Amino acid sequence: MSRNKELGRKIRLMKKIKQNRRVPGWVMMRTARKVTQNPLRRNWRRGSLKI
């Protein structure tokens, strides 16, 4: 079952979920919109994880 995961795997998946966010607005304002994209962005269909 997909809900039966070991703790280490859950922690690694949560880290990837946290990384998969857009750049905050205050970062764009602070860098004068030089930083607008997150290089770690990943789509759940296109990109796969090595976990």
Angle at 25 between CA 18 and CA 37, to 5 degrees: 65
For residue 44, the model assigns a pLDDT of 94
Q: Of 39, 5, 36, 48, whose CA–CA distance to 20 is shortest?
A: 39
- pTM to 2 decimals? 0.75
For residue 9, the model assigns a pLDDT of 94
Cα(30)–Cα(28) distance, rounded to whole angstroms?
6
Q: Of 1, 35, 43, 2, whose CA–CA distance to 19 is shortest?
A: 43
For residue 1, the model assigns a pLDDT of 59
pLDDT per residue of the chain (51 residues) written in tens, 0 to 9: 578 999 999 999 999 999 999 999 999 999 999 999 999 999 999 999 998
For residue 18, the model assigns a pLDDT of 96
